[in-house]
Structures are given as structure tokens and as C-alpha cells.
Amino acid sequence: MWIEIAHFSTLIALLLAGVLLVAPLAGLRWQQVVWIRVGRQAAFFACGLLTLASAGLILSFLNHDFSVKYVAEHASLKLPIFYLATAMWGGHEGSLLLWAWLLSLFIAIAAWRHWQTHPVSMPWVLSISGGLLLGFLLLVVFLSSPFERLMNPPFDGRDLNPLLQDPGMVFHPPFLYMGYVGFAIPYAFAMAALITAQGDSEWILATRRWTLFSWAMLTIGIVFGAYWAYYELGWGGYWAWDPVENASFMPWLTGLAFLHSVMVQERRRMFRTWNLFLIITTFALSLLGTFLVRSGVLSSVHAFATDPGRGVYILIFMAALLLFSFGLLTSRADLLKETPKLESGLSREFSFLINNLFLVAGACTVLLGTLYPLAVETLSTAKVSVGAPYYNKVFIPIMLGMLLLMGVGPIIPWQRSSWTRLRQEFLPALLLGILGAAVAPLIGITHPSGAIAFGLILFVSSTHLKDVLHNIRIRMQRDSLSAPGALWRLIGRNKRRYGGLFVHLGTLVTVAGFVGSGLFQEERDLFMSVGDSMQIGSWNLTLESIGKTARRNWQADEAVIRAERVGAEPIHLTPQKRVYNEHSQPTTEAAIYSTWREDLYVVLGDGVKEGVWAFRVYRNPLISWVWVGSTLMVIGVFWAMLQGRRAARSQD
Amino acid sequence: MSISLNRRIFMIITLILVAGSLGFLVLSSFTGALVYFHTPTEALAKNQELTGKKIRIGGMVQTGSLAKESGTLKIRFLVTDGKAQIPVRYEGMVPDLFREGQGVVVEGTWRAGEDFLADTILAKHSEDYVPVEMNEQGIAKSKESLLKSLK
């Protein structure tokens, strides 16, 4: 019943997407504002209908309607209600519906918020986003329908993949998609600006919050994914350079480049073509991310479906998008010619340019490593994989370079500076950084990259701190405020700048986490029987017992391990090996004890003989810093989003 | 406004240096990083040329071949593609999905005439979804579709 409603609303939404594509253009062609209004209304109705469609699919899950193929494949009677409600995006078809729903929602918000402020570009924004929505709904309706019925409904469903029955995995896809889809709006505005040849940098001001929002969502999505991999997959790490992780990392990198380089356009009217290139690339990579994950071409845990039809469709869709966007960009090249030239290498805009080079090189690295194996497989019979060592080799220097630039970029003046001034500004911080890197091995950071990262973290924090203190002092004198009052006013008045600096702070914390967990992880494989002990780091682990435990839809072997450390209360860890009812394969549930200093991570292996079990124990230093740091980053972005655009122009 | 020649040269040289070293970094890391995938038959056929190279071998864990050395985490088993088989040794915890009669991909350095000493066993896919590397049909399909779309 609900599924029919969902199906019909999607079909009508498909028609409305067509209207959204055509009506505004017709309105422009025949000078009829009413047609543009029709397009706008179509956007609202499409959003409403797709909301209904998604609700219908979710209700079918909640009602255990196994006559729906998608429900039968991704749920079971025993699946807890939380996972039932979110199983909508547990597979390919529902995920694409979620994509389309989010897109319609964002289009409706854009049509609502920007209608008054951007009358010239609005018809084009509506039409372009209508084209995108149409493209996605065609895919949902004809090639990947979650509404398909089964002639003989099974009594019970096949259940959701146990690995996906985890809160981290529940929130990972929607956030990722919000990020992906969010870039569609700046993209549509950019294209509209190119077509109407109006407004110059207006599209950037208009979409600043959209871009920040999308990037923040992408960050949250990626971190949820990493967190899930860490908690659920039981291999002690959180990032494996899996093609699916890569797929979300590429738009993140180019989106980050875009966030920085638009500042240059806003301030100095430079990089106009480059920014258009970046937003097109970022949105195209978002689509590529969807394509890679949802077409099944990759050998990866996430590739749920193997159906080439969808893949081909998305490839054609992407090709059309790229041809349209870059074709438009080249045909409008004359508009973009007159830009001010870079005046000096010692300027903020130049440091942003280098920052962009690093980020784009990073994106190319990932693109090469992800697509090359596919190309080899397609063009020859050989199969090849590109392992983590490649990415680590490239990304460690890139990360270190980015850190150095991060210390310089926000401080160095726009337009031009001099060596003398730079020396005053940066020399103490630089010396501190070098000293830090030299001392690092003495405090346990024995790895060279780790030592350099440590020095750079000191460098960046001191340049940032110096800047903030300097501004606090000025405020204190000018407005006769106390130090905290001055800081508060500073942060409140210029949310963009201080939001950005806060993101940098979060980045430093995250990088510290990368260094600690990436370079100093300890790993031990061993056997224990009840009563045995082992030592890792400062911890002493004793196996107290092994037994069985069960919940509604799984049963497990569970070990109870007492972990002790001098000067602390003993804690208990209970790693499990679970078998979910509908599945024969066991899944490991790692037991994790997390402190700010390190994580203790215990995985239960197989029983090797009577009473003897295999264990894998990790000590992951500073890993919680990754989660904390990325949270700070997101908070910083949201803070920056709070600032309206007028204030943005008048203040530095 | 004219920009002084010195400053322009400084900018250009910096850009070239940065872009060049980034490009070099990416490409030089890339060439060494490729790990080729072989079936047991292929690996035995290319015995000599593979020696000393890091490769992946994929096939099934032959039923009845899995032997555990009691009291250690050492295991040995045969990886087979139905025609040829390769003895593999491994020490450590195996993934959840590793078992006899199931697909597996092992990674390690090939030494001609010796047992294959795996440093990684890949089998992290759940039972519903075989690794694509293991699924010939899936590969043929995705290849077809990619070729079609490239035409």
C-alpha cells in the first residue's frame, strides 16, 4: 500500500523535474515570468512528493512489507526498529532515492531562499538543477527502482548486512550524500552565472554557505565512515584507502581547495576561471563517488550491487555533465579574461595558489590510484591493485606541506609583503617549529615524519596564537575590554575568520591523531586461555572468562578481559565474535577502551584448541584526537557559516 | 600596474618547483606501488618473472587443505582455481570470512619453488557479496559495460 504511494509520487516527481527543467527556460524565451514561477512551484512539489516517497519506503520497512523486493533483501522480522527505519539506504536503490530526495530538498530551499535575491540567475539555477533531478529520478524509476514488487513474497526477509547494523554506518551515507548533493547548488549557480554572463563573483557570495555546509557534511560523513571502520571491521585502523573511501575523499579535497580559492576571488577578483573549474570538478567527483560506490565496479565492501546498466547510465550522465560544464566554460572564456595579476609570491593569494596545487595533487593521486586499476582491468586481462603504501607515500609529504602553508596562509598579507616583514612575523614561530622537530625524538616521537609534523604543529599553533593575541590586545585597548571579553567580541564579530582558524585548530588536533595512530600503533597476536596475562604498553591484560551471550538477532562468543594499569582502576573489555541469525558468517566486535592518550583495542579470534583462543590486541596512541579534531573542524565551519554576507564584505 | 620582473620570476620558479615536485612525488610513488593479481595457474606459468615481486593470488581455499599448527597462529592451505594449486603459509589472525571452500585473495612476495608466504589475507567481504576479484562473471560484466560506454 505505502509502496504504491511512494512509487506514484516518484513518478509524478519525475514529471515535475521535467517541468522544472523546461518551464523556466520557456519563461525566459517568451518573457513570461509566470512560467518561471511554475518552475519554482514544481521544485516545491517535487520535494514534497519525494519526501512522501521516502516516507513510503521507510514505512514499508517498518511494516515488514516483504512483497517489496528491496525490503525483502535488506530487512528481516528480527531486525531492530532503528535499523529497520534506516535500512532505506542499506542498499543501492534506496540510497539513490535518498540522493534524489536530498537534491529535491536542496533545490526547494534554494528556490525559496534565493528567489528574491537572485532574480536573474534563478531561472537558470532552477533549470539546471531540474536537469540534475531529472537525471537522478530517471535512474531511480527505470534502472534502480526500490519499488519493485515480488510475486511470491517471502515469509521473512534476507536481513540487513550485519556489518551495516551499526550506528556509525547508519549516519555515514546520509551525511555523505548531503555533502555530495549540496555541491549541486553552488554548481548550478556557477553555471547560471556563466550563462547569464552576470554578477561576476556574485555566485560565490550567494553560495558561500552552501559550499561550507556541503564540505562540513562531507567531513562528517567521511569521519562517520572511518569511525565505523574502526569500531566495526576489527582491524585496528580507520582508513584503508579503499576505493569507496577514496571516492568520498576526492570531492572533499577539491571542495577544500575551492573554499580557499574563492576567498581570493572575493578579495582580489582573481582565479575566476579556476574557481569555476574547481566547483565543476568537485560536483563531478561527487557524482563519480556515487557512480563508483553504486555501480559495483569496485571490489570493495561497499559495492553492494553488480549491475552494469546503472553504471553505464551514470557514466553517460557524468559525461554529459562534464561536456556541458566545460563546454560552457570554454565558450565563455572571453568573459573571464580580465583579471588582476598576481603581484608577488609573498602574498596570501600566492600561498592559497600553492595550497590549491597541493590539494589538487592530492585529488589526482587518489583519482589515479582508484581509476588506474579499473582502466587496466578494462583494457587488458590483467588485474592490479594499488595499495595503501602508495597513498601514504604521497599523502604524508602533502600533509606536511599543507601544514606549513596553513601556518602562513591566514597571516601573510594580501597582495604583497616583504621579506623583512615576513621575518618579523614568522621567524620566531619557525625557529620554535624547528626546535620542536629536533626535540621530538627525545620525547618519544622517533619517526622522522612524526617529528616534522610535530614541529609544524608547533609552528602553525604559534603563528595562529600570535595573531589572535595581537588582535585581542588591539581590541582590549580600543574598546577597553577584558581579555576574554575582547576574544569573545573578536570571534563574534568576524565569524568567518575565526571559524576558519578554528577549523585549522581542529586540523592540528586531527593530524596529531594521524601521527600517533598511524606511526606508533602497537599490534600483538597471541593465544590466551583463562587466567593468562599479556603486556602491551603500560597495560596488563588478563583473560578472566570466555562464554556465550545473545541478543534479539545475534548470538556470540564473548571473552571477558581485565585490563590493569599502575595507578588506575582496572577495566573490563568484552570482545565478541557474533553470528547474526540470518547469516552464517561470524563478525568480530572489537572491544575498545578509549582514553585521550590511547585506545586499547582487543579482537577475539578463533578457538585454536580446547580452552585456548586467539586474540589480537592493539594499542592505538592518540586515536581519539582524530575524532575530536574532526568535530572541532566541523564546529569551526558551522561558526563560519553563521556570518551573513554583508559583514563579510566590510571586514577583514 | 606593472609587476617587477624579479617578483614574477620568483613566482614562476616557485610554482614550477612545487608543481614539479608534487608531480614527481605522485608518479614515482605510483610506479612501484602496483600489485598484480594472478590466478594460481597464471602464477605458476610466470614462475620465473614473478620472483621477488609482490603479487596477489586469488582462488578458493581447497577443501580439506587447511592445516593449523597447534599452539601457534600458523596456518597452511592450498589456493586453487580448479586447475592449479599453490601452497600458502600464513601466520596471524585470519579474517572472519576465511574458511575452506571459500574465495580468498592472498598477498605476498613470490619466491619460485617455495610455499607462498602471505603477509595479508583478504576476505573481508560478507557472504552475500563475493569479492569482485573472485567473481569472474562480475568482472566480465563490468568490463563489458565499461567498454560499451567507452565506445
Q: What is the pLDDT of residues B46-58, one digit of tens each?
A: 888 888 888 888 8
Task: Return the minimum-mean-pLDDT range out of A103-107, A182-186, B85-89.
Answer: B85-89
- Considering only alpha carbons, which residue of chain A is nearest residue B10? A345
- Grid cell for residue B128: 552475500
Instruction: Kindly report the number of other CB atoms within 10 A of residue A569's CB atom.
Output: 6
Over residues A369-392, the mean pLDDT reads: 81
Cβ–Cβ contact A196 with B under 8 A: no
* A190-240: pLDDT as tens digits: 999 999 887 578 888 888 899 999 999 999 999 998 998 888 877 788 888
CA distance B82 to chain A (A): 19
Q: Which one-letter amino acid corresponds to residue A65?
A: D
The mean pLDDT value of chain A amounts to 87
A612-621/A598-609 β-pairing: antiparallel
CB A161 within 8 A of CB A52: no
- Considering only alpha carbons, which residue of chain A is nearest residue B126? A585
Report whether pLDDT(A150) > 80. Answer: yes
**E-strand stretches of A531-597:** 533-536, 539-551, 554-564, 571-573, 576-580, 586-589, 591-594
Predicted local distance difference test score (pLDDT) of residue B2: 57
- Grid cell for residue A73: 533483501
Report whether pLDDT(A362) > 60. Answer: yes
Contact A385 B125 (CB under 8 A): no
Place of cell 582487543: A602
Predicted local distance difference test score (pLDDT) of residue A271: 86
Predicted local distance difference test score (pLDDT) of residue A295: 67
Cβ–Cβ contact A358 with B under 8 A: yes
* A610-640: pLDDT as tens digits: 788 888 899 999 999 999 999 999 999 999 9
Cβ–Cβ contact A608 with B under 8 A: yes
Task: Give me the helices (H) in A30-119, please.
Answer: 33-62, 69-74, 81-86, 92-113
Over residues B27-38, the mean pLDDT reads: 83
CB A133 within 8 A of CB B97: no
Report whether pLDDT(B151) > 50. Answer: no
Over residues A418-430, the mean pLDDT reads: 86
Predicted local distance difference test score (pLDDT) of residue A169: 78
Spatial neighbors of A341 by CB under 8 A, at least 6 apart, are: A270, B3
Q: Which one-letter amino acid corresponds to residue A559?
A: A
Is the CA virtual torsion A445, A450, A455, A457 positive or negative?
negative
Interhelix angle for A122-138 vs A184-196, to 10°? 130
Report whether pLDDT(A7) > 60. Answer: yes
Contact B26 A368 (CB under 8 A): yes
Contact A386 B126 (CB under 8 A): no
CB A272 within 8 A of CB A201: yes
Report whether pLDDT(A652) > 60. Answer: no
Predicted local distance difference test score (pLDDT) of residue A645: 61
Predicted local distance difference test score (pLDDT) of residue A15: 95
Test mutation, B145, B150, B151, chain A, max A CBs within 10 A: B145
Tally of CA atoms within 13 A in the half-sphere of B3 that contains its CB? 16
Cα Rg, chain B, nearest whole Å: 23
Distances (CA, A) of A158 to A4, A111, A582, B44, B47: 22, 41, 7, 40, 44
In whole angstroms, what is the distance from residue A634 CA to residue A216 CA?
6
Predicted local distance difference test score (pLDDT) of residue A385: 81
Contact A344 B11 (CB under 8 A): yes
Kindly provide the ipTM of the predicted complex, given to two decimals. Answer: 0.77
Q: Which one-letter amino acid corresponds to residue A636?
A: G
In whole angstroms, what is the distance from residue A112 CA to residue A100 CA?
18
Burial A592-608 (b: 16+ CB within 10 A, else e): beeeeebbbbbbbbbeb
- Considering only alpha carbons, which residue of chain A is nearest residue B99? A585
Spatial neighbors of A31 by CB under 8 A, at least 6 apart, are: none
Predicted local distance difference test score (pLDDT) of residue A608: 72
A119 or A261: which leads in pLDDT: A261
HEC per residue, A412-461 = CCCCCCCHHHHHHHHHHHHHHHHHHHHHHHHHCCCCHHHHHHHHHHHHHH
CB A516 within 8 A of CB A603: no
Place of cell 573542524: A633
- Grid cell for residue B123: 576476505
The candidate with the shortest Cα–Cα distance to A288, out of A252, A324, A334, A332, is A252
